[in-house]
Structure 1
Amino acid sequence: MEAMLIDCVQSSLRQLMYHNAIFMCERLCAEFPSETNLQLLAGCYLHNNQAYSAYHILKGTQLAQSRYLFAISCFQMDLLNEAETALYLANDPNAEVPNGAAGHYLLGLIYRYTDRRKRAVHHFKQALSIDPLLWAAYEELCILGAAEEATSVFGEVAALCIQKQHRSHEVANQNSQASSEDDNLVSGINFGSEDVSSRDVRHINAKIMRDIPRNYPGAVMSGGAASQPLNGRAANISFYSTPSPMAAQLSGVAPPPVCKNVQPNGPNPNAVNVDGSPRSTVNSTIQAPRRKFVDEGKLRKISGRLFSDSGPRRSTRLAGEAAVSTNSSTTTVTGNGTSHSSKYLGRSKMSSVTFHSVTVRKGQSWENESFEEGIRHEVHDDSRSNVTTSSSLPSGDLRSIEQEVATMPAGEVVMSSSRVVTGASEVLALLRTLGEAYRLSCLYRCQDALDAYLKLPNKQYNTGWVLSQVGKAYFELIDYLETDHAFSLARLASPYSLEGMDIYSTVLYHLKEDMKLSYLAQELISTDRLAPQSWCATGNCYSLQKDHETALKNFQRAVQLNSRFAYAHTLCGHEYVALEDFENGIKSYHSALRIDARHYNTWYGLGMIYLRQEKFKFSEHHFRMAFQINSHSSVIMSYLGTAFLALKRNEEALEMMEKAILADKKNPLPVYQKANILVSMEKFDEALKVLEELKEYAPHESSVYALMGQIYKRSNMYDKAMLHFGLALDLKPPTTDVATIKAAIEKLHVPDELEDTM
Structure 2
Amino acid sequence: MEAILTDCVQNSLRHFMFKNAIFLCERLCAEFPSEVNLQLLAACYLQNNQAYSAYHILKGTQTAQSRYLFAISCFQMDLLNEAETALCPANEAGGEIPNGAAGHYLLGLIYRYTDRKKSAIHHFRLALSINPLLWAAYEELCVLGAAKEATVVFSEAAALCIQNQYLHHGLPSPNLHMSSEDYNLVSSRNFGSEDVSPRKLKHTQGNNLRGIPGNHHGAVVLSGAASQPQNGGPSNMSFYNTPSPMASQLSGVAPPPLCRNMQPNGSNLNTVNTDGSPRSIVNSTIQAPRRKFVDEGKLRKISGRLFSDSGPRRSTRLTGDTGANTNANTAAVAGNGTNNSSKYLGSSKLSSVAPRTVTVRKGQSWVNENIEEGIRNEAFDDSCANVASTTSSSFSSDNVRSLDHDGATVLVGGVVVSGAKAVSGASEVLCLLRTLGEGYRLSCLYRCQDALDAYLRLPHRHYNTSWVLSQVGKAHFELVDYLEADLAFSLARQVSPYSLEGMDIYSTVLYHLKEDMKLSYLTQELISTDRLAPQSWCAMGNCYSLQKDHETALKIFHRAVRLNSRFAYAHTLSGHEYVALEDFENGIKSYQNALRIDSRHYNAWYGLGMIFFRQERFEFSEHHFGMALQINPCSSVIMSYLGTTLHALKKSEDAIKIMDRAILADRKNPLPMYQKANILMSLEKFDDALEVLEELKEYAPRESSVYALMGKIYKRRNMHEKAMLHFGIALDLKPSATDVATIKAAIEKLHVPDELEDNLSTE
| Alpha-carbon distance between aligned partners in 1 of 2:280 and 2:192, rounded to the nearest angstrom | 35
What is the correspondence of 1:61-140 to structure 2 with a 5 Å cutoff? 61-140=61-140
- Tell me which residue corresponds to 1:545: 547
Name the SS for the 1:225 alignment partner: helix
Deviation at 1:312, TM superposition (A): 2.8
Deviation at 1:277, TM superposition (A): 3.3
Name the SS for the 1:279 alignment partner: coil
Asked if the contact 2:507/2:522 (under 8 Å) is kept, the reply is yes
Deviations 1:476-502 (A, max 9, x none): 111111111111111111111111010
1:311 aligns with 2:310: yes
- Tell me which residue corresponds to 1:214: 193
Percent sequence identity is: 70
Asked if the contact 1:257/1:488 (under 8 Å) is kept, the reply is no
| Alpha-carbon distance between aligned partners in 2 of 1:327 and 1:443, rounded to the nearest angstrom | 31
- Code of the aligned partner of 2:202: S
Deviations 1:674-714 (A, max 9, x none): 10110011000110111111112101111101111110111
- Code of the aligned partner of 1:225: K
What is the correspondence of 1:146-225 to structure 2 with a 5 Å cutoff? 146-170=146-170, 205-206=185-186, 208-215=187-194, 222=197, 224-225=199-200
Asked if the contact 1:272/1:458 (under 8 Å) is kept, the reply is no
Name the SS for the 1:436 alignment partner: helix
Q: Which runs of 5+ in 1 are unaligned?
A: 174-195, 233-246, 334-401
Name the SS for the 1:732 alignment partner: coil
1:230 to 205, 221, 233: 205
Asked if the contact 1:13/1:21 (under 8 Å) is kept, the reply is yes
Deviations 1:426-454 (A, max 9, x none): 00000000011111111111111111110
Name the SS for the 1:624 alignment partner: helix
Asked if the contact 1:293/1:326 (under 8 Å) is kept, the reply is no
1:253 aligns with 2:255: no
Name the SS for the 1:61 alignment partner: coil
Asked if the contact 1:437/1:450 (under 8 Å) is kept, the reply is yes
- Code of the aligned partner of 2:573: L
2:680 to 658, 671, 678: 678
Deviation at 1:263, TM superposition (A): 6.7
Deviations 1:528-587 (A, max 9, x none): 111111000000011000011111111111111111110000000000000110000000
Name the SS for the 2:20 alignment partner: helix
1:457 to 459, 478, 481: 459
**Cα distance change of structure 1 residues 268 and 452 upon mapping to structure 2, 3 Å threshold:** closer
**Cα distance change of structure 1 residues 231 and 512 upon mapping to structure 2, 3 Å threshold:** closer
- Code of the aligned partner of 2:257: N
Deviation at 1:721, TM superposition (A): 1.3
Please give the TM-score of this superposition, normalised by the length of structure 2.
0.79
Deviation at 1:641, TM superposition (A): 0.3
**Cα distance change of structure 1 residues 274 and 595 upon mapping to structure 2, 3 Å threshold:** closer
- Tell me which residue corresponds to 2:599: 597
Deviation at 1:318, TM superposition (A): 3.2
**Cα distance change of structure 1 residues 736 and 562 upon mapping to structure 2, 3 Å threshold:** same
Asked if the contact 1:249/1:527 (under 8 Å) is kept, the reply is yes
Deviation at 1:3, TM superposition (A): 1.3
| Alpha-carbon distance between aligned partners in 2 of 1:491 and 1:588, rounded to the nearest angstrom | 30
Name the SS for the 1:205 alignment partner: coil
- Code of the aligned partner of 1:627: L
| Alpha-carbon distance between aligned partners in 1 of 2:759 and 2:54, rounded to the nearest angstrom | 73
What is the correspondence of 1:573-652 to structure 2 with a 5 Å cutoff? 573-652=575-654
Asked if the contact 1:40/1:204 (under 8 Å) is kept, the reply is no
Name the SS for the 2:170 alignment partner: helix
- Tell me which residue corresponds to 2:516: 514
- Code of the aligned partner of 2:258: G
**Cα distance change of structure 1 residues 409 and 539 upon mapping to structure 2, 3 Å threshold:** closer
- Code of the aligned partner of 2:576: H
Deviation at 1:298, TM superposition (A): 3.1
Deviations 1:68-96 (A, max 9, x none): 11111111111111111111111111210
Asked if the contact 1:128/1:138 (under 8 Å) is kept, the reply is yes
**Cα distance change of structure 1 residues 121 and 451 upon mapping to structure 2, 3 Å threshold:** same
- Code of the aligned partner of 2:666: D
- Tell me which residue corresponds to 2:354: none
Deviations 1:311-352 (A, max 9, x none): 3342x3232x45566999xx9x9xxxxxxxxxxxxxxxxxxx
| Alpha-carbon distance between aligned partners in 2 of 1:76 and 1:171, rounded to the nearest angstrom | 30
| Alpha-carbon distance between aligned partners in 2 of 1:145 and 1:288, rounded to the nearest angstrom | 33
- Tell me which residue corresponds to 1:53: 53
CA RMSD of aligned residues (A): 3.1
> Is 519-528 or 724-733 further displaced after alignment?
724-733
Deviation at 1:223, TM superposition (A): 7.5
2:492 to 486, 490, 497: 490
- Code of the aligned partner of 1:212: F
| Alpha-carbon distance between aligned partners in 1 of 2:699 and 2:252, rounded to the nearest angstrom | 33
- Tell me which residue corresponds to 2:566: 564
> Is 479-488 or 275-284 further displaced after alignment?
275-284
Name the SS for the 1:211 alignment partner: coil
- Code of the aligned partner of 1:515: M
| Alpha-carbon distance between aligned partners in 2 of 1:146 and 1:110, rounded to the nearest angstrom | 17
- Tell me which residue corresponds to 2:702: 700
1:448 aligns with 2:450: yes
What is the correspondence of 1:278-677 to structure 2 with a 5 Å cutoff? 278-279=278-279, 282=282, 285-286=285-286, 289-301=289-301, 305-308=304-307, 310-314=309-313, 316-319=314-317, 321-323=318-320, 408=399, 410-412=401-403, 418-677=420-679
- Code of the aligned partner of 2:508: T
- Code of the aligned partner of 2:205: L
Compare relative contact order (CA 8 Å, sep 6+) and give the higher one, 1 or 2.
1
Name the SS for the 1:318 alignment partner: coil
| Alpha-carbon distance between aligned partners in 1 of 2:502 and 2:740, rounded to the nearest angstrom | 39
| Alpha-carbon distance between aligned partners in 1 of 2:591 and 2:484, rounded to the nearest angstrom | 29
Q: Which runs of 5+ in 2 are unaligned?
A: 174-178, 208-241, 262-268, 333-392, 410-417
- Code of the aligned partner of 1:294: V
- Tell me which residue corresponds to 1:22: 22
- Tell me which residue corresponds to 2:226: none
| Alpha-carbon distance between aligned partners in 1 of 2:206 and 2:248, rounded to the nearest angstrom | 38
**Cα distance change of structure 1 residues 577 and 597 upon mapping to structure 2, 3 Å threshold:** same
**Cα distance change of structure 1 residues 657 and 171 upon mapping to structure 2, 3 Å threshold:** closer
Asked if the contact 2:629/2:635 (under 8 Å) is kept, the reply is yes
Asked if the contact 2:400/2:419 (under 8 Å) is kept, the reply is no
**Cα distance change of structure 1 residues 157 and 550 upon mapping to structure 2, 3 Å threshold:** same
Asked if the contact 1:444/1:476 (under 8 Å) is kept, the reply is yes
Name the SS for the 2:91 alignment partner: coil
Please give the TM-score of this superposition, normalised by the length of structure 1.
0.79
